[in-house]
Amino acid sequence: MENFVYNANPGRVIFGSGTISRLGEEAERLGAKCVLVLSTPEQAGQAEDIARHLGSRVAGIYSKAQMHTPVDVTSDAMRTVERLDADALVSIGGGSTTGLGKAIAYRTDLPQIVVPTTYAGSEATPILGETEGGRKVTKSDPRILPEVIVYDVDLTLSLPVALSVTSGINAIAHAVEALYAREANPIVSMMAEEGIAAIARALPLIQANPQDRGARADALYGAWLCGVCLGSVGMALHHKLCHTLGGMFNLPHAPMHTAVLPHAVAYNSKAAPASMARISRALGGGEPALALYDLAKRLGAVMSLQDLGMPANSVGDAVEQAMSNAYWNPRALEKKALSELLELAYRGDAPAPR
């Protein structure tokens, strides 16, 4: 076995059904007495219901979280934090709400409890991506990592199938890139393969029966593993492209990741053969890029960036920005090849071998 370094992130995970009933005791463990609850506008009602488990600790609900964590929304939320003198945060929802909680914690070091309702996985990472002026900037800091994650399978039963699919494949993207990350190690690779496999076997069952608790639990468990991978090692081309596209064009987060992932995998396939073998095994066999594309398409995901709102004739600009501050990647970033990659994703075509 080769030498390796593994950094484990601290954190407490509560997993199961009905676990939101433990929110009050988890807040008590953190010494929180004045909690600000966060959500998107669409989940404000759900956040109110869940917040009842915190009792008198609830200081207020801020329900303006937005996709890609715009800095101006965070600034507005900070005024609420200061006005209420909040001493803890509870983020209820997907990556948008979790991102806002992280942005506040980065500025204040307030403790966070996250109650995920999607398969985003970002709740398990010390990573924050913020958008300002058409550019998404990523930072990592111990203050960003949530202290507690409360996974309640019951909260995912109402997650629409379409969002379940794209949210799940977004989570798979974290594990895929962890397998060929520069800091890859046996522990993360083990979690990555298990996370991909858990989600890949769960999503078709969820499509067939959204109330399948076993499949929902599998998907949520897989999302947590994939999130741990994301928080433990660096990412590569796929995440760089998605940060670029999200910041420039405000494309929907999980559907965008779903559309781009097969093409990023195809780009790196020859540069990371051992990783590709593990991805193939986790997906049940086949060439990984095509297997991911076929899985997403079979489950009804939109595979065209054009259909997701990417403007015409914008591939060149996106490639220029992506290469201007490039991530490490197992294969060198080549302008022509990246342009071809994004053109395929723009049209929604199957990934091409590279």
Helix (H, G, I), strand (E, B) or coil at 333: coil
Retrieve residue 64's tokens: 């303006």
- How many residues in total does the chain contain? 354
Residue 6 confidence (pLDDT) above 90: no
Angle among Cα 166, 117, 299 to the nearest 5 degrees reads 25
Q: What is the mean pLDDT of residues 34-62?
A: 97
Q: Residue 177's pLDDT is what?
A: 97
- Encode pLDDT of 325-343 as tens digits: 778 999 999 999 999 999 9
- Grade residue 8 by pLDDT with cuts at 50, 70 and 90: confident
Q: Residue 309's pLDDT is what?
A: 98
Q: What is the mean pLDDT of residues 55-66?
A: 97
37: enclosing H helix or E strand: strand 35-38
Residues 163, 223: Cα–Cα separation, whole Å: 14
Radius of gyration of the chain (CA): 19
Q: Residue 354's pLDDT is what?
A: 64
- Grade residue 81 by pLDDT with cuts at 50, 70 and 90: very high
Q: Residue 133's pLDDT is what?
A: 87
- Encode pLDDT of 89-123 as tens digits: 999 999 999 999 999 999 999 999 999 999 989 99
Q: What is the mean pLDDT of residues 73-87?
A: 98
16 has which bridge partners?
152
Topology of domain 161-347, per CATH? Answer: Dehydroquinate synthase-like, alpha domain (1.20.1090)
Strand pairing class (12-16; 58-62): unpaired
Q: Residue 205's pLDDT is what?
A: 98
First to last CA, the chain: 30
Contact 118, 93 (CB under 8 A): yes
Contact 144, 127 (CB under 8 A): yes
Topology of domain 12-156, per CATH? Answer: Rossmann fold (3.40.50)
Contact 128, 144 (CB under 8 A): yes
Q: For residue 334, how far is the Cα from the chain centroid?
A: 26
Please list the residue range(s) of the chain that carry CATH number 3.40.50.1970.
Answer: 12-156
Residue 312 confidence (pLDDT) above 90: yes
Residues 106, 36: Cα–Cα separation, whole Å: 15
Helix (H, G, I), strand (E, B) or coil at 10: coil
Portion of the chain with pLDDT greater than 90, in percent: 92
Retrieve residue 19's tokens: 């676990």
Short-list 230, 354, 206, CA closest to 289: 354
Residues 322, 318: Cα–Cα separation, whole Å: 6
**How many other β-carbons are positioned within 10 Å of the β-carbon of residue 82?**
10
At 201, the amino acid letter reads: R
Please list the residue range(s) of the chain that carry CATH number 1.20.1090.10.
Answer: 161-347
Place of tokens 């994004």: 342
Q: What is the mean pLDDT of residues 278-282?
A: 98
Retrieve residue 199's tokens: 């989600």
At 184, the amino acid letter reads: A
Helix (H, G, I), strand (E, B) or coil at 282: helix
Retrieve residue 193's tokens: 């393969």
- Encode pLDDT of 167-218 as tens digits: 999 999 999 999 999 999 999 999 999 999 999 999 999 999 999 999 999 9
Residues 208, 201: Cα–Cα separation, whole Å: 12
Read off the pTM. 0.93
Contact 114, 123 (CB under 8 A): yes
256: enclosing H helix or E strand: helix 253-268
